[in-house]
Amino acid sequence: MSKNVFVGMSGGVDSSVTALLLSRQGYKVSGVYMKNWTRNIAGFSCPWEEDYRDAKRVAVSLDIPLLVFDFEKQYREKVVNYMIDGYKQGITPNPDIICNQEIKFKLFFDLSMQSGADLIATGHYGRIVKGHLKTAVDQNKDQTYFLYRMSQQSLSKTLMPIGDYKKSEIRNIAKKNNLATATKKDSQGICFIGEVGIKEFLINELGPQPSGPIIDDQQKEVGVHEGAIFYTIGQRHGLNIGGGLPYYVIDKDISKNIVYVSRNLDNPNLWSKEIRLTNFYFTYNNFDYINKKLKVRIRYRGDLIDCDLRVKGDKAFIGLKQAAKAVARGQSAVLYYGQYCIGGGIIV
Protein backbone atom coordinates (compact mmCIF):
# COMPACT_ATOMS: atom_id res chain seq x y z
CA MET A 1 0.00 0.00 0.00
CA SER A 2 1.45 3.38 -1.05
CA LYS A 3 2.27 5.89 1.67
CA ASN A 4 0.48 9.23 2.00
CA VAL A 5 2.86 12.16 1.50
CA PHE A 6 1.87 15.76 2.14
CA VAL A 7 4.06 18.05 0.01
CA GLY A 8 4.50 21.67 1.00
CA MET A 9 3.77 23.48 -2.27
CA SER A 10 4.74 27.16 -2.26
CA GLY A 11 3.91 27.87 -5.90
CA GLY A 12 7.57 27.66 -6.91
CA VAL A 13 9.35 25.29 -9.26
CA ASP A 14 11.22 23.33 -6.58
CA SER A 15 8.16 22.22 -4.61
CA SER A 16 6.28 21.60 -7.88
CA VAL A 17 8.93 19.16 -9.06
CA THR A 18 9.01 17.60 -5.58
CA ALA A 19 5.32 16.70 -5.96
CA LEU A 20 5.92 15.41 -9.49
CA LEU A 21 8.86 13.19 -8.51
CA LEU A 22 7.05 11.65 -5.55
CA SER A 23 3.92 11.00 -7.62
CA ARG A 24 6.09 9.14 -10.13
CA GLN A 25 7.69 7.14 -7.33
CA GLY A 26 4.29 5.74 -6.40
CA TYR A 27 3.46 7.79 -3.33
CA LYS A 28 -0.09 9.01 -2.74
CA VAL A 29 0.64 12.73 -2.89
CA SER A 30 -1.40 15.61 -1.48
CA GLY A 31 -0.19 19.17 -1.97
CA VAL A 32 -0.43 21.67 0.86
CA TYR A 33 -0.22 25.43 0.43
CA MET A 34 0.83 27.10 3.68
CA LYS A 35 -0.88 30.48 3.96
CA ASN A 36 1.54 32.30 6.23
CA TRP A 37 1.37 35.93 5.12
CA THR A 38 -1.22 37.84 3.10
CA ARG A 39 -0.53 41.50 3.90
CA ASN A 40 0.79 44.00 1.39
CA ILE A 41 3.69 46.13 2.53
CA ALA A 42 4.10 49.74 1.36
CA GLY A 43 5.34 49.62 -2.21
CA PHE A 44 5.34 45.80 -2.33
CA SER A 45 2.45 43.52 -3.18
CA CYS A 46 2.27 40.24 -1.25
CA PRO A 47 2.43 37.43 -3.83
CA TRP A 48 0.40 34.87 -1.88
CA GLU A 49 -2.61 34.79 -4.24
CA GLU A 50 -0.39 34.32 -7.31
CA ASP A 51 1.63 31.65 -5.50
CA TYR A 52 -1.52 29.80 -4.46
CA ARG A 53 -2.86 29.90 -8.03
CA ASP A 54 0.42 28.52 -9.35
CA ALA A 55 0.42 25.72 -6.78
CA LYS A 56 -3.21 24.94 -7.72
CA ARG A 57 -2.36 24.81 -11.43
CA VAL A 58 0.47 22.36 -10.77
CA ALA A 59 -1.72 20.23 -8.50
CA VAL A 60 -4.41 20.03 -11.19
CA SER A 61 -1.85 19.03 -13.84
CA LEU A 62 -0.53 16.28 -11.54
CA ASP A 63 -4.06 15.19 -10.59
CA ILE A 64 -3.43 15.60 -6.86
CA PRO A 65 -5.50 17.46 -4.23
CA LEU A 66 -4.27 20.78 -2.88
CA LEU A 67 -5.07 21.62 0.74
CA VAL A 68 -4.57 24.99 2.45
CA PHE A 69 -3.11 25.18 5.95
CA ASP A 70 -3.60 28.65 7.44
CA PHE A 71 -0.66 29.49 9.74
CA GLU A 72 -0.85 33.26 9.44
CA LYS A 73 -1.40 33.90 13.16
CA GLN A 74 1.38 31.52 14.22
CA TYR A 75 3.75 32.84 11.55
CA ARG A 76 3.29 36.34 12.90
CA GLU A 77 3.89 35.21 16.47
CA LYS A 78 6.75 32.75 15.87
CA VAL A 79 8.66 34.22 12.94
CA VAL A 80 7.82 37.87 12.33
CA ASN A 81 7.85 38.94 15.98
CA TYR A 82 11.10 37.01 16.50
CA MET A 83 12.70 38.90 13.63
CA ILE A 84 11.44 42.32 14.71
CA ASP A 85 12.48 41.77 18.34
CA GLY A 86 15.96 40.73 17.20
CA TYR A 87 16.52 43.86 15.14
CA LYS A 88 15.22 46.04 17.97
CA GLN A 89 17.87 44.43 20.21
CA GLY A 90 20.59 45.25 17.69
CA ILE A 91 21.22 41.72 16.41
CA THR A 92 20.75 40.22 12.92
CA PRO A 93 18.20 37.39 13.25
CA ASN A 94 17.56 34.78 10.57
CA PRO A 95 13.79 34.36 10.05
CA ASP A 96 14.19 31.57 7.47
CA ILE A 97 15.74 29.24 10.06
CA ILE A 98 12.97 29.95 12.57
CA CYS A 99 10.33 29.54 9.87
CA ASN A 100 11.67 26.06 9.12
CA GLN A 101 11.88 25.18 12.82
CA GLU A 102 8.49 26.52 13.91
CA ILE A 103 6.29 26.45 10.81
CA LYS A 104 7.38 23.91 8.20
CA PHE A 105 8.82 21.19 10.38
CA LYS A 106 6.60 21.71 13.40
CA LEU A 107 3.15 23.12 12.57
CA PHE A 108 3.02 21.77 9.02
CA PHE A 109 4.53 18.47 10.12
CA ASP A 110 2.15 18.03 13.06
CA LEU A 111 -1.02 19.01 11.17
CA SER A 112 -0.04 16.77 8.24
CA MET A 113 0.37 13.79 10.57
CA GLN A 114 -2.99 14.56 12.21
CA SER A 115 -4.58 14.78 8.75
CA GLY A 116 -3.49 11.32 7.62
CA ALA A 117 0.02 11.78 6.24
CA ASP A 118 2.66 9.10 6.72
CA LEU A 119 5.39 11.46 5.54
CA ILE A 120 5.86 15.08 4.54
CA ALA A 121 8.04 16.48 1.76
CA THR A 122 9.47 19.88 0.91
CA GLY A 123 11.32 21.42 -2.02
CA HIS A 124 14.51 22.05 -0.07
CA TYR A 125 17.97 21.42 -1.46
CA GLY A 126 19.16 18.94 1.13
CA ARG A 127 19.20 15.17 1.57
CA ILE A 128 17.92 13.05 4.42
CA VAL A 129 19.67 9.70 4.74
CA LYS A 130 18.62 7.31 7.53
CA GLY A 131 17.33 10.22 9.58
CA HIS A 132 20.44 12.35 9.11
CA LEU A 133 20.71 15.61 7.20
CA LYS A 134 23.22 15.75 4.35
CA THR A 135 24.17 18.54 1.97
CA ALA A 136 22.54 18.69 -1.46
CA VAL A 137 24.17 17.44 -4.65
CA ASP A 138 24.02 21.02 -5.95
CA GLN A 139 26.38 22.68 -3.46
CA ASN A 140 25.57 26.12 -4.84
CA LYS A 141 21.91 25.65 -3.86
CA ASP A 142 22.42 23.66 -0.66
CA GLN A 143 19.98 24.82 2.04
CA THR A 144 21.08 22.75 5.03
CA TYR A 145 22.26 26.00 6.68
CA PHE A 146 18.55 26.85 7.10
CA LEU A 147 17.55 23.31 8.11
CA TYR A 148 19.88 22.51 11.00
CA ARG A 149 17.16 22.93 13.63
CA MET A 150 14.92 20.16 12.23
CA SER A 151 13.78 17.79 14.96
CA GLN A 152 14.75 14.13 14.99
CA GLN A 153 11.07 13.28 14.57
CA SER A 154 10.61 15.40 11.46
CA LEU A 155 13.91 14.16 9.98
CA SER A 156 12.63 10.60 10.30
CA LYS A 157 9.47 11.39 8.31
CA THR A 158 10.53 13.99 5.75
CA LEU A 159 11.46 13.56 2.09
CA MET A 160 13.58 16.05 0.09
CA PRO A 161 13.83 14.46 -3.35
CA ILE A 162 15.28 17.44 -5.23
CA GLY A 163 18.39 17.35 -3.03
CA ASP A 164 19.69 14.68 -5.43
CA TYR A 165 19.50 17.03 -8.44
CA LYS A 166 21.17 20.13 -9.80
CA LYS A 167 18.94 23.21 -10.02
CA SER A 168 19.27 23.17 -13.81
CA GLU A 169 17.95 19.60 -13.84
CA ILE A 170 14.94 20.63 -11.77
CA ARG A 171 14.14 23.38 -14.28
CA ASN A 172 14.45 20.92 -17.15
CA ILE A 173 12.17 18.37 -15.47
CA ALA A 174 9.56 21.10 -14.93
CA LYS A 175 9.78 22.23 -18.58
CA LYS A 176 9.58 18.69 -19.98
CA ASN A 177 6.46 18.06 -17.93
CA ASN A 178 4.88 21.42 -18.79
CA LEU A 179 4.56 22.49 -15.16
CA ALA A 180 3.10 25.98 -14.78
CA THR A 181 6.03 27.03 -12.57
CA ALA A 182 8.81 25.85 -14.92
CA THR A 183 10.13 29.32 -15.70
CA LYS A 184 8.99 31.10 -12.53
CA LYS A 185 11.79 33.05 -10.86
CA ASP A 186 12.95 31.99 -7.40
CA SER A 187 11.78 34.15 -4.50
CA GLN A 188 14.51 36.30 -2.95
CA GLY A 189 12.53 37.91 -0.15
CA ILE A 190 11.87 37.18 3.50
CA CYS A 191 10.43 33.68 3.84
CA PHE A 192 6.86 33.90 2.52
CA ILE A 193 6.56 37.68 2.61
CA GLY A 194 7.84 38.20 -0.93
CA GLU A 195 10.41 40.46 -2.53
CA VAL A 196 10.37 43.12 0.17
CA GLY A 197 13.72 43.86 1.78
CA ILE A 198 14.44 43.76 5.51
CA LYS A 199 14.74 47.53 5.84
CA GLU A 200 11.46 48.24 4.06
CA PHE A 201 9.71 45.58 6.11
CA LEU A 202 11.00 46.97 9.41
CA ILE A 203 10.00 50.52 8.48
CA ASN A 204 6.53 49.24 7.61
CA GLU A 205 6.26 47.49 10.99
CA LEU A 206 8.05 49.96 13.27
CA GLY A 207 7.86 53.24 11.37
CA PRO A 208 10.87 55.41 10.41
CA GLN A 209 13.70 55.17 12.91
CA PRO A 210 15.59 58.11 14.43
CA SER A 211 18.74 59.07 12.58
CA GLY A 212 22.05 59.25 14.40
CA PRO A 213 25.79 59.65 13.98
CA ILE A 214 28.14 57.34 12.11
CA ILE A 215 31.47 57.47 13.94
CA ASP A 216 34.79 56.12 12.65
CA ASP A 217 37.59 54.48 14.64
CA GLN A 218 39.22 57.89 15.14
CA GLN A 219 36.06 59.02 16.99
CA LYS A 220 35.19 61.34 14.11
CA GLU A 221 31.62 61.71 12.89
CA VAL A 222 31.70 60.81 9.19
CA GLY A 223 28.02 60.50 8.37
CA VAL A 224 24.43 60.11 9.51
CA HIS A 225 22.57 56.81 9.58
CA GLU A 226 18.83 56.17 9.16
CA GLY A 227 18.42 54.04 12.28
CA ALA A 228 21.02 51.84 13.95
CA ILE A 229 18.76 48.76 13.87
CA PHE A 230 19.09 48.57 10.07
CA TYR A 231 22.86 47.99 10.04
CA THR A 232 24.83 44.80 10.53
CA ILE A 233 28.48 44.03 11.26
CA GLY A 234 30.60 44.03 8.11
CA GLN A 235 28.08 46.03 6.06
CA ARG A 236 29.68 48.39 3.54
CA HIS A 237 26.78 49.35 1.26
CA GLY A 238 24.03 51.79 2.14
CA LEU A 239 26.14 53.95 4.47
CA ASN A 240 26.03 56.95 2.13
CA ILE A 241 29.51 58.11 3.10
CA GLY A 242 31.17 59.49 -0.01
CA GLY A 243 34.81 59.56 -1.11
CA GLY A 244 37.86 57.38 -0.65
CA LEU A 245 38.04 53.81 0.54
CA PRO A 246 34.82 52.11 1.65
CA TYR A 247 33.76 52.08 5.29
CA TYR A 248 32.64 48.91 7.06
CA VAL A 249 30.29 48.70 10.03
CA ILE A 250 32.36 47.38 12.97
CA ASP A 251 29.92 47.90 15.85
CA LYS A 252 26.76 49.69 16.90
CA ASP A 253 25.23 50.98 20.12
CA ILE A 254 21.45 50.63 20.00
CA SER A 255 20.85 52.50 23.28
CA LYS A 256 22.84 55.53 22.04
CA ASN A 257 21.78 55.07 18.39
CA ILE A 258 25.37 55.14 17.11
CA VAL A 259 26.86 53.17 14.22
CA TYR A 260 30.64 52.65 14.31
CA VAL A 261 32.62 52.21 11.10
CA SER A 262 36.19 51.76 9.90
CA ARG A 263 38.09 51.81 6.61
CA ASN A 264 40.64 49.43 8.09
CA LEU A 265 39.92 45.89 6.92
CA ASP A 266 42.22 44.64 9.66
CA ASN A 267 40.17 46.26 12.41
CA PRO A 268 39.87 43.60 15.13
CA ASN A 269 36.13 44.21 15.50
CA LEU A 270 35.69 42.86 11.96
CA TRP A 271 37.37 39.51 12.65
CA SER A 272 36.69 36.59 14.98
CA LYS A 273 38.73 33.54 15.93
CA GLU A 274 36.20 32.23 18.44
CA ILE A 275 32.41 32.20 18.21
CA ARG A 276 30.06 31.74 21.15
CA LEU A 277 26.68 30.14 20.50
CA THR A 278 23.45 29.83 22.41
CA ASN A 279 20.45 27.59 21.70
CA PHE A 280 22.88 24.99 20.41
CA TYR A 281 21.22 22.00 18.81
CA PHE A 282 22.54 18.70 17.42
CA THR A 283 20.85 17.85 14.12
CA TYR A 284 22.80 14.60 13.98
CA ASN A 285 21.54 12.83 17.09
CA ASN A 286 24.21 11.76 19.60
CA PHE A 287 27.04 12.81 17.30
CA ASP A 288 30.46 12.19 18.84
CA TYR A 289 32.28 15.34 17.74
CA ILE A 290 35.45 14.82 19.80
CA ASN A 291 38.57 14.64 17.61
CA LYS A 292 36.50 14.97 14.43
CA LYS A 293 37.48 17.27 11.59
CA LEU A 294 34.60 19.73 11.63
CA LYS A 295 33.77 22.75 9.50
CA VAL A 296 31.48 25.66 10.24
CA ARG A 297 29.46 28.05 8.08
CA ILE A 298 28.59 31.41 9.64
CA ARG A 299 26.26 32.67 6.90
CA TYR A 300 24.30 31.19 4.02
CA ARG A 301 26.68 30.35 1.17
CA GLY A 302 29.59 31.44 3.34
CA ASP A 303 32.85 29.52 3.17
CA LEU A 304 33.23 26.39 5.27
CA ILE A 305 35.93 27.03 7.89
CA ASP A 306 37.88 24.35 9.78
CA CYS A 307 37.02 24.52 13.46
CA ASP A 308 37.00 22.95 16.91
CA LEU A 309 33.81 22.55 18.93
CA ARG A 310 33.11 22.59 22.66
CA VAL A 311 29.56 22.09 23.92
CA LYS A 312 28.16 22.71 27.39
CA GLY A 313 24.41 22.28 27.63
CA ASP A 314 22.79 24.54 25.06
CA LYS A 315 25.92 26.71 24.84
CA ALA A 316 28.79 26.05 22.47
CA PHE A 317 32.19 27.52 21.68
CA ILE A 318 33.72 27.29 18.22
CA GLY A 319 37.42 27.87 17.69
CA LEU A 320 38.20 28.83 14.10
CA LYS A 321 41.39 27.68 12.39
CA GLN A 322 41.32 30.94 10.43
CA ALA A 323 39.69 34.21 11.43
CA ALA A 324 36.23 34.87 9.99
CA LYS A 325 35.10 38.30 8.83
CA ALA A 326 31.89 40.02 9.91
CA VAL A 327 30.45 37.51 12.35
CA ALA A 328 27.01 38.93 13.15
CA ARG A 329 25.18 38.30 16.43
CA GLY A 330 21.80 36.69 15.85
CA GLN A 331 22.86 34.76 12.78
CA SER A 332 23.48 31.02 12.97
CA ALA A 333 26.75 29.12 12.90
CA VAL A 334 26.12 25.68 11.37
CA LEU A 335 28.51 22.74 11.72
CA TYR A 336 29.39 20.03 9.21
CA TYR A 337 31.25 16.74 9.30
CA GLY A 338 31.94 15.84 5.71
CA GLN A 339 28.56 15.98 3.95
CA TYR A 340 26.59 15.73 7.19
CA CYS A 341 25.04 18.76 8.87
CA ILE A 342 25.55 17.95 12.55
CA GLY A 343 24.12 21.00 14.34
CA GLY A 344 24.49 24.66 15.13
CA GLY A 345 23.38 27.56 17.26
CA ILE A 346 22.72 31.28 17.43
CA ILE A 347 25.78 33.56 17.49
CA VAL A 348 26.01 35.76 20.60
Q: What is the pLDDT of residue 188?
A: 67
| pTM greater than the 0.85 cutoff | yes
Give CA 26 to chain center in angstroms: 31
> For the segment 20-53, what is each residue's pLDDT rounded down to a tens digit?
999 999 999 999 999 999 988 877 788 899 999 9
Local confidence band at 244 (pLDDT 50, 70, 90 cut-offs): confident
pLDDT per residue over 116-155, tens digit each?
999 999 999 999 999 999 999 999 999 999 999 999 999 9
Mean pLDDT of the chain: 95
Give 333's pLDDT tier (boundaries 50, 70, 90): very high
Residues near 219 by Cβ (< 8 Å), separated by ≥ 6? none
* pLDDT over threshold 90, residue 192: no
> What pLDDT sits at residue 42?
73
230-236: average pLDDT? 95
CA distances to 72, 192, 196, 243, 254 from 234, rounded to whole Å, are: 33, 26, 22, 19, 16
Bridge partners (DSSP) listed for residue 340? 134, 337
For residue 81, what pLDDT band results from cuts at 50, 70 and 90? very high
Q: Say what the pLDDT of residue 198 is.
A: 85
pLDDT at residue 54 in the model: 98
What's the rounded Cα separation, in Å, for the pair 27 and 219? Answer: 64
HSE value, Cβ hemisphere, 13 Å, CA-based, for 57: 16
Distance CA 192, CA 47 (A): 9
**Predicted pLDDT at 150:** 98
Note the pLDDT of residue 320: 98
Assign 286 a pLDDT band (cuts: 50, 70, 90): confident
pLDDT in tens, 312-322: 999 999 999 99
Q: For the purposes of burial, counting CB atoms within 10 Å of the CB of 76, is it exposed (0-12), middle (13-18) or buried (19 or more)?
A: middle
Residues in the chain: 348
- What average pLDDT does the segment 178-193 reach? 81
Q: What is the mean pLDDT of residues 232-259?
A: 94
pLDDT > 70: percent of the chain? 97
The lowest-confidence range among 44-48, 84-88, 253-257, 344-348 is 44-48
The residue that leads in pLDDT, 201 or 125, is 125
CA 316 to chain centre: 21
The pLDDT score that the predictor gives to residue 8 is: 98
C-beta pairs of 65-69 under 8 Å, 24+ apart in sequence: 65/30, 65/31, 66/9, 66/30, 66/31, 66/32, 66/33, 67/6, 67/30, 67/31, 67/32, 67/33, 67/115, 68/32, 68/33, 68/35, 69/32, 69/33, 69/34, 69/35, 69/107, 69/108, 69/111
Mean pLDDT over 221-243 rounds to 94
204 CB-near residues (< 8 Å, 6+ apart): 41, 42, 196
- Strand ranges (E), 73-138: 119-121, 126-129, 132-135
Supply the DSSP string of 246-286, one letter for each residue. Answer: PPEEEEEETTTTEEEEES-TT-GGGEEEEEEEEEEEESSTT
Is residue 296 within 8 Å of 305, Cβ to Cβ? yes
Q: Which residues are catalytic?
A: 99, 191
